[in-house]
Chain A
Amino acid sequence: MVGWSFLIILIPLAGFAINILGSRVIPKWLAMLVGVMAVIIPFTIAGGLFFGVGEFLIREHWFNWLETDSWLLEVAYRLDHLSMVMLLIILGIGGLIHIYSVGYMRDREDAGRFFSYMNLFIFFMLVLVLGDNLLVMFIGWEGVGLCSYLLIGFDYHRKAAAIAATKAFVTNRIGDVGFLIAIFILLNNFGTLSFTKLNQVIPNALASGEIGVGLVSLICILLFFAATGKSAQFPLFTWLPDAMEGPTPVSALIHAATMVTSGIYLIVRLWPIFELSELAQSVILYTGAFSALVSALIATKQWDIKKVLAYSTISQLGYMFMALGAGGYGAAMFHLTTHAFFKALLFLVAGSVIVQLHHQQDLRKMGGLKLRLPLAGLIFAIGAWSISGLPFGAGFFSKDELLWQLYLDRGWDVWLLAVLIAFLSAYYTYRLFYLIFYGQSAEHSQKSYPSLVAEPAAMKYVLIVLAAGTVLVGLLGVPHYLDIFHVGNLINLYLAKVVVMPSQLGIDQSMTEILLMSTSLAVAVGGFLLARMRYRKSLPIEKDNGWNRLLVGKFFVDDIYQDYIAKPFSNLVKGLGIAYFEDFFHSAPKWGRRFFLKIGESIGKTGQSGNMQDYALAIGFSMMIGFAIVVILFLTSWLY
């Protein structure tokens, strides 16, 4: 089984190649089949590896990418417990979304192209999580960015899609500069990019005083800067809401479940290094908290169903970064896992609602769909229950562990901030729920949408399976005070082989934990009830005060970037082009220009007539100079 593990990476690539090269000849059903199988088969292999191998670490060296005197870069992959978790999420949820896409894309001519991009994305995502060193990871890192670009701009005829795609790619590249510089520092100081070696060498070098803590902080902050691009955190988060221009399965797969979590994965992968820098940890924690708070606030005022979910994703990712900043690597990975389930579920059910309402995304034009879309309503309710952290939903377990970690590491104030965000997330999720399914009468909905588009079976079944997964995934991390069957915190036990876990707690701390948990639970219920009160009956009238304007304007971050960074820069470049430099270099010195112009005119005039004589003249002119040089050469030699 282990020997076949490389197929996990190569099969999606093959799926991409088949569909892109054969796009003219392969019929649509076959293209879809290839696209889906290219994810399902690796999933079964990964599943086999998961169950078949107990204590495993697969590390395979393929070849040397580059080798110099001072460093060696290998193309190698590693499969350990951490990458296994990511692998199962990517292939499991990815596989479901591929099947969902069969339904979603059934009427599209270019389904083959869609599936080839999706397969390519899976390939690069696998490269990212299976890479044994930062270089291979970076190949995947930029590769998923590329696929994100291609898929956001999938409907190439829509200008908004093209602009959003470009924005996503460029913003990610800004982050990638941080990644590259971190790589340069690491290569020149430690001569390796391998995770295993870096995780040993750097703590040792710091302990022996070879390097200062400042350098470690710099490396960590640069890598985290790259993570803010990919995982849509402040200051590079503005691309994610715009990325919702892409098809909904893309939003579910790339912009909720997998790609945007690569920043988290990066930090967990290198946790022994991040652990060393107090400063970097604080930067991560507070950037995460700030992003989570700001985006949760923005989400409460959005009217586009997918944008609410996008801001919610930023907020949840911010949550995970908070956990990372507090050293809760297991908690972050657990929340990453549950989030992949419930956020994918919410996106897919939103996609199903959008499709059935003839591609309507505006929440104000929905409402009253409870009885008309009962399945979607039920499944959305499951997703909303989970994300809000209400009892025994998936988010309940992961958020609880995360909050506990924050409390242990940072104390009350950070914990309170996180609870406030939990309140907001319950509020905006249930606002969404009530706006779609309640809020208006069924008759009203009947009037606006006399007929609904039938939902393809593939989409429906995927939703059911994913909903079941969402219900169950929380059980992977049951807290010990609820652990009546003594199975333990499965995901923490599993990951403990790779990352450090908080030590087992005494009984007195258990009481504190239960107390904290009850408080956060009460707050989440409060958010839920507030949303229910405001949005269940009808659309409330929004007051036009400063605070609301700030929220509706998304804290004007986009505008600030546009007005104070993008525009001045673009003006500068334009000025460079038109006014000063081009003219300066081109026309200086002035007399020279005039001289050239004269000759140009005289030769240009004759050149236009285009007969043989002019060629002769032109060639002769060139020859003259060439020969003149040779003659001078000979003369000088004789003179000498």
Chain B
Amino acid sequence: MEFILVSLILLPLAGFSVALILPSDYKWQRINFIFFTLLSLAAAIYSFKFDGLDKFHDIINIPWLSVMQVNFRLGIDYISLSLVLTTTFIFVGSAVAGVGKENIKINTALMLLLEAFLIGVFLASDVLLFYIFWELVMLPVIGLFFINIKDQYRAIYFYLYTIAGSLVMFLGIVYIYFYYGDLASGGGYVDWLEVRALNNNLIWALFAIAFAIKAPLFPFHGWQAGAYQAAPTFLTVILATLLSKMGWYGFYRYSHKLLGEGGEFWQGSILFLSVVGVIYGAMMAWQSKNIKSLFAYSSLSHLNMMIYGIFSDSEVALAGSIFFAIQHSLIMAGIFWIIQFLEGRKGINLTNNFNGLFKVAPVLAGFFIFLSLANIGLPGLSGFVGEFTILSGNFKFYPGLTVVATGGVILAALYQLKIIQRLFFGEVSLINERINYKLGYEMIAILAIIIIAVIIMGIYPSFLFDLFKEIV
């Protein structure tokens, strides 16, 4: 049974090797990509058979860096498995949506590598292993940037920004090492959880900065809109859905759970910053002129909402934050795949207020509008559940802040309806009329799965929510 967990990491790595061996041929690379992502998805689904998922525990624990008494530990609970499942699903979608025609070989290889490392982050149960995966994730990301885009400034900015954050986290680990003598006593997640050893403001802050940059938490978002915009869209999908969740996961797993009372010192300021981020992100999204930067800021707003849920004293809000994180990944993936599809058509002029695409692309419009509504938290869809639980849970403890954060729903309507209006309303231009906007069947299938998930999670959220509630 344990091998399933290892295979979650090994399968994409195998795919990576195969992609390097295969010729740079669109068809073969695509088949390879879809094949290995589907296998990982199957493995992720299968791993829900593990017992005792309502508590984080190690499945694999083998000696590794004996010199520091660090073990190679992978552990799971419902939360990490849900994130792994989301990751594998999104990579299947990415394989279907494609990674462009140029550089197909290296793109496919790097995407599979990225999948392996991302899963590693969500499974790592040892702080050092977690850190190594955290760093490794940046390798394929930056590789994809370099290969696919011309303007490198934003990419470098992004890379150095996050590396700076990681180094701060590294300092934190070094500090732990010197403070406690070794990493073993404090390295394993479960041990840590039991002793809650690290009630240390400084260590907490060092970790939190890394997470805050990755998520990002306001005001550490400077890299975000630029990187989302500059990245090739198939990579933006991953940035928006999964890399952001790394930051969220770090906050949840380490800042909230592990580092104990050190967090209380910073709690107030983080809550305040996150609420500012909710409003600020939504406002910036409204004024964005670029569709990718619009959704970058929308993500900023929503991620800050999730962080607002993590650092509350309310268990409802915390469970809501987990729920929000999972469904946000799905919705954002859907939206960015549609953007990717539109970009491939090159007929859209987003400085124009009205593109009138509804006439030529009704199916695409339907998907986009649906996902948009889920994104802004229309009741009955999944986005609402997350927002509702976070806000209602937090209202008890911080009514003032929560009222401000609730105001974000108005701004959300503003930016989301703005982009719908720009894309779909108005008269269609002559150029667009000639372009084929028909979605492929496999893309429709992927989007339909997202939509079904969004509806089920919106109407009957308790099946997931109850799982998360048990854990927190």
Residues of A near any B CB (own CB < 8 A): 20, 23, 63-70, 75, 135, 138-139, 141-143, 146, 149, 153, 156-157, 159, 161-163, 165-166, 169-170, 173-174, 176-177, 180-181, 183-185, 187-188, 570, 572-574, 576-577, 581-582, 585-586, 596-597, 599-601, 603-604, 607-608, 610, 614-615, 618-619, 621-623, 625-626, 629-630, 632-634, 636-638, 640
Contact = CB atoms under 8 A, between A and B. Distances in A.
Interface in B371-425: 373, 378-380, 385, 388-389, 391-392, 395-396, 399, 402-403, 406-407, 409-410, 413-414, 417-418, 421, 424-425
Nearest to B354: A159
- Residues of B in contact with A, size category: 35 or more
Interface of B is mostly: helix
Contacts of B284: 573, 576-577, 582
B153 interface: yes
Contact of B406 (A180, A600, A633): A180
A622 B460 contact: no
A223 to B, nearest CB: 15
A177 B410 contact: yes
Interface in B138-159: 138-139, 142-143, 146-147, 150-153, 155-157, 159
A177 B411 CA distance: 11
Contacts of B128: 633
A618 B147 CA distance: 9
A637 B366 CA distance: 57
Interface of B: 67-68, 106, 128, 132, 135-136, 138-139, 142-143, 146-147, 150-153, 155-157, 159-160, 163, 167, 170, 174, 177-178, 219, 221-222, 226, 280, 283-284, 286-288, 315-316, 353-354, 356, 358-359, 362, 366, 373, 378-380, 385, 388-389, 391-392, 395-396, 399, 402-403, 406-407, 409-410, 413-414, 417-418, 421, 424-428, 459-462, 465-466, 469
B206 to A, nearest CB: 15
Nearest to A138: B379
Contacts of A626: 132, 135-136, 138-139
A596 B160 contact: yes
Contacts of A586: 222, 226
15 contacts: A23-B362, A159-B425, A162-B426, A170-B414, A181-B403, A183-B392, A184-B399, A185-B395, A187-B392, A573-B284, A599-B160, A618-B143, A619-B139, A622-B139, A636-B177
A138 B156 CA distance: 46
A135 to B, nearest CB: 8
A188 B356 contact: no
B410 A604 contact: no
A65 B460 contact: yes
Contact of B222 (A67, A135, A161, A585): A585
Nearest to A187: B392
A373 B62 CA distance: 89
A165 B424 CA distance: 13
Interface of A is mostly: helix
A633 B169 CA distance: 13
B462 A170 contact: no
Contacts of B359: 156-157
Contact of A623 (B139, B222, B362): B139
B417 A166 contact: yes
Contact of A600 (B136, B153, B221, B395): B153
Given A67-B462, A577-B287, A625-B163, A184 B402 contact: yes
Given A66-B462, A184-B406, 20 more contacts: A66-B461, A135-B379, A143-B379, A153-B425, A156-B358, A157-B356, A162-B425, A170-B417, A177-B409, A180-B409, A183-B392, A600-B156, A603-B152, A604-B150, A604-B151, A607-B150, A614-B146, A615-B143, A619-B139, A621-B142
A288 to B, nearest CB: 24
Contacts of B139: 619, 622-623, 626
Contact of A166 (B150, B316, B358, B421): B421
Nearest to B469: A68
B372 to A, nearest CB: 11
A489 to B, nearest CB: 37
Nearest to B152: A604
A170 B410 contact: yes
Contacts of B389: 66
Contacts of B427: 157
B152 A607 contact: yes
B406 A142 contact: no
Nearest to A177: B406
A585 B219 contact: yes
